[in-house]
Amino acid sequence: MKQFNIARFEGDGIGPEIMAEAVKVIKAAETKLGGFQCEFDTVPAGAAHYRDHGEAFPETSRRVAHEADAIFLSSMGLPDVTKPDGTEVQGDIIVITRRELDLYRGVRPVKLRPNVPSPLANVGKGIDLVVLREQSEGLFAAYQSSHIVKDEVYSDSMIVTRRGTERICRTAFELANRRGGAPADGVSRVTCVDKANNFQAMAFFRRIFDEVASTHPGVSVDYAYIDAIMIHLLQRPDSFDVLVLENMYGDILSDLSAGITGGMGFAASGDIGDDHAMFQCAGGSAPDIAGKDIANPVAQILSGAMMLQWLGQRFSVAESIRAAELIETGVDQVLAAGHLTSDAQGTTRTSEFGSLVVDAIAAL
């Protein structure tokens, strides 16, 4: 039996609540299939820890994260807890970990799940796409290194390199080859989202994209400017398959995409490198509803499924890959049966939802 050592960060606000449900579901899939065991090492980090101890990410926690087989992170941040420069503290955990472990692939699945209401009047044949965000450079390369002139001028630079662009574009085409295409037409398609009409760095990004595209003739190619894609996603969301973007553009677009598929409570994510990976729900910590057992745990549960899939592929553990599939199926069955949390106009409690998914997995 393969043991996976997981660094578990419970986060702030609703973080511990939704993490508990995700772990409960993972353990149910583990019991159902056998073949692997997740050993969770819970370590402190986050805004509350910064408030109480003066540091957001203790060195002991960092060491556990770096040595783990995977990192499982829940919602972090508190709006009233900031550093002296006014920025929130979670970047010291999330952005720095991405940088230190070279988690250059920001994978944001965007799927309208059964029975979940979308704010769009017309979703066509459905929404099932992936926002693929380059995470090692772009505007986030300036994190903690702004150029400041006497507290009068602040400058953050966007960095785009050939290496960084090539590897994220290769990932995009490889991902498109594994998927079933856009819902509207079934065509495998990668859309390059940029601002190549205004910025030389973005024109360079597109040029490298084209070079990589030429080595994947079986995948259709599309282009959209970052401002235009905002409209296209609202008007014809079913026509997209994989979208590849610079770091900041991907950060913004992934949130819009979550909005059209029910909200951040359904937004799972993975930050993936060649040797390390971190998985977390993409939403905030919602401290106003913390402790009320009404938060939506779906994003955290599905992030756990992404983690099991990645671990199974990395360590060649078929049961772990199958567990990821069972979890996603279980979540969809529970949603299809009408069990929605308050953010989706339902009445199901956080803990109740996790238990229902556990029951669904047992019955599969």
pLDDT (tens digit per residue) in 254-306: 999 999 999 999 999 999 999 999 999 998 899 999 999 999 999 999 999 99
pLDDT value at 137 more than 80 = yes
- Mean pLDDT, rounded, of the chain: 94
Q: Are 346 and 338 in contact (CB under 8 A)?
A: yes
Examine domains 1-103+266-364 and 118-261 and report if their fold is the same. yes
Share of the chain above pLDDT 70, in %: 97
CA–CA separation, 213 vs 136, rounded Å?
21
pLDDT value at 143 more than 60 = no
Pairing type for strands 128-134 and 220-225 reads unpaired
Amino acid at the residue 304 = G
pLDDT value at 344 more than 60 = yes
Q: Are 18 and 347 in contact (CB under 8 A)?
A: no
The structure's pTM equals: 0.94
CA–CA separation, 237 vs 223, rounded Å?
15
Per-residue confidence band for 86, with pLDDT thresholds at 50, 70 and 90: confident
CATH number for the domain whose boundaries are 1-103+266-364 = 3.40.718.10
Query: What class has domain 118-261?
Result: alpha beta
Element (H, E) at 47: helix 47-53
pLDDT (average), residues 100-120: 96
Taking the domains of the chain in order of start, what are their residue ranges?
A: 1-103+266-364, 118-261
Q: Are 107 and 256 in contact (CB under 8 A)?
A: no
First to last CA, the chain: 22
What pLDDT is recorded for position 353?
98
What pLDDT is recorded for position 147?
57
CA–CA separation, 9 vs 12, rounded Å?
9
Name 145's Cβ contacts closer than 8 Å, sequence gap at least 6.
none
Element (H, E) at 69: none
Share of the chain above pLDDT 90, in %: 87
CA distance readout (Å), 188 to 107, 111, 192, 230, 278: 17, 16, 13, 21, 27
- How does pLDDT run across 184-196, given as a tens digit for each residue? 999 999 999 999 9
